Amino acid sequence: MPNPPNSETSLTDSRSQQISLNVDGSSDRENAIEPQVLSPDKPILSSPEESDLQQETLGDLWVNNSHNPLILSALERQENLISNQRSSNIEKNSIALNQVQEAWQDLNRLASELQREISDRQQAQTALQQSEALLQAILDYSTAVISIKDIDGKYLLINRHFENLFHIPKAQIAGKTDSDIFPQDKAATLRENDLAVLQTCSPLSIEEVIPQDDGQHTYISLKFPLCNSQGIAYAVGTISTDVSDLKVAELTLKKAKAQLEIEVEERTQFLRQANELLQFELAARVRGAITVRQMTAQVARHARTVDGILGASLDLIFLVIDREGIHLCQSHRRPSSRHES
């Protein structure tokens, strides 16, 4: 049985809670009379049989009807209702607290994931900045002229060598085309070369002549497409190397080669004529040698004839001598024989 409210604080708490009271004592919600708000300043019983209590407040009910079973039953139900409400509130608060804790854990988890994602993005951004700085350093310190243009021919990027040669800073290059920098005929040629790369979507190496402060310069340009993930070209990159000195050396070499070919032809003609003269002289000498050989053979034959004549002459001489000698001997011998006889 509930303890009587012995202080104004209890009445104030009851007033602040404004609890509902079911006056017929039924716990069945379907059969229950619509509850009224219980307050110390307003009546709590309004049934016809309790009309004499309609003007009494909660404090008056307790003081004047402390032994009334109906009042006691109502107060007990009210206390049970308050207790149930408190238990329900505690349970709800516990559930809500668990939900808050779970939500807080989820929030902490999401915060951690978000923090990691932010850290990863910051690291990726730092790496990207370092990569861009490295790429820009490579571009700026390259001796080649490097540029990137979109499919409409507008410049997206240039390197420092491009700036120095054509006197246009990087900050002002965006949106400009070749027509804004070069003469129209040169710009048209450059655009045709870029379109050839975009149409074929393949690299192209070509010789381009570009005007500069000191005259025309010849470049060997390597043009290549830049494609997205679908393989569609969205820009054209160009790396141009100045080969003007090499071109001059090549022309000088061609002139020297042509001059050398002329000299070689002249010397070849001279040698051809000298060879023909030498062949003629050699033929003459061969003919002379043949003549000499023939004459030598004739002389040899004549010599043999002369030798024969000389030999015959000597034989004749010796024969004559022999005959003369015999005759002389016989002449000398005859007188002796005559003397002897």
Residues 306, 319 share a domain: yes
What are the residues facing 91 on neighbouring strands? none
The tens digit of pLDDT for each residue in 246-260 reads 888 988 999 999 999
Q: How many distinct structural domains can be found in the chain? A: 3
List the domain range (segments joined by +) for residue 92: 8-106
Which pLDDT score is estimated for 131?
87
E strand or H helix at 145: strand 145-150
CATH number for the domain harbouring residue 203: 3.30.450.20
- For residues 114 and 108, what is the distance between their CA atoms, to the nearest angstrom? 9
- Residue 160 forms part of a structural domain: yes
Number of alpha carbons in the 13 Å side-chain half-sphere of residue 32: 14
Higher pLDDT, 181 or 333: 181
Residue 298 has pLDDT above 60, yes or no: yes
What are the residues facing 177 on neighbouring strands? none
Q: Considering the entire predicted model, what is its pTM? A: 0.48
Which pLDDT score is estimated for 30?
40
Mean pLDDT for 110-123 is: 91
Residues 64, 31 share a domain: yes
- Residue 183 forms part of a structural domain: yes
- Residue 117 forms part of a structural domain: no
- Residue 111 forms part of a structural domain: no
- Residue 339 forms part of a structural domain: no
| 3 state SS for 192-244 | HHHHHHHHHCCCEEEEEEEEECCEEEEEEEEEEEEECCCCCEEEEEEEEEECH
- Residue 67 forms part of a structural domain: yes
- Residue 132 forms part of a structural domain: no
Residue 266 has pLDDT above 60, yes or no: yes
- For residues 35 and 30, what is the distance between their CA atoms, to the nearest angstrom? 12
Which pLDDT score is estimated for 70?
65
Three-state secondary structure call for residue 335: helix
Which pLDDT score is estimated for 184?
94
Which pLDDT score is estimated for 20?
38
Residue 167, Ramachandran bin (φ over 0: left; ψ between -120 and 50: alpha; else beta) = left
Which pLDDT score is estimated for 61?
54
Residues 169, 83 share a domain: no
Mean pLDDT score across all residues of the chain: 76
The tens digit of pLDDT for each residue in 63-89 reads 555 566 666 676 667 667 777 677 767
Phi and psi torsions of 237, nearest 5°:
-100, 145
Residue 261 has pLDDT above 70, yes or no: yes
Which pLDDT score is estimated for 201?
92
- Residue 257 forms part of a structural domain: yes
Residues 255, 231 share a domain: no
